Amino acid sequence: QVQLVQSGAEMKKPGASVRLSCKASGYIFKTYAMHWVRQAPGQGLEWMGWIFPGNGNTRSSQKFQGRVTITRDTSANTVYLELSSLRSEDTAVYYCARDLTVGTYLGSGYWGQGTLVTVSS
């Protein structure tokens, strides 16, 4: 069965960077795109970016103005999200989520358990 297991909670100071991981299992890793979505406390879902593990192509929301880097390690079936220049507004639960289908994006059918990132001085 498809499983996405995310790394543990992080506490960071403003200005620092954080790197989160999402280890996939139960399917052919290179075949399905992976997204990162975050949710600030009490707020809605925010799409951050996407990677296609097969060729490493990525795209992130312009909102993050270059602060987001999404990578993958195909030998470890793992995708990573790095967020730099952290500020208090980045405090949120970060989710990885896998495409439901191969090819055209129709939604994310599988989600990790989420990783809480707290940014505080």
User: Is there binding between residue 31 and other proteins (CB under 8 A)?
Assistant: no
Among 1, 55, 62, 65, binds other proteins (CB under 8 A): 62
User: Is there binding between residue 50 and other proteins (CB under 8 A)?
Assistant: yes
Q: Which stretch binds other proteins (CB under 8 A): 8-16, 67-75, 80-88, 100-108?
A: 100-108
Distance CA(96)–CA(77), nearest Å, equals 13
- Output 17 or 113, the one with its CB closest to other proteins: 113
Distance CA(18)–CA(49), nearest Å, equals 15
Binding site for other proteins (CB under 8 A): 35, 37, 44-47, 49-50, 59, 61-63, 95, 97, 100, 104-109, 111-114
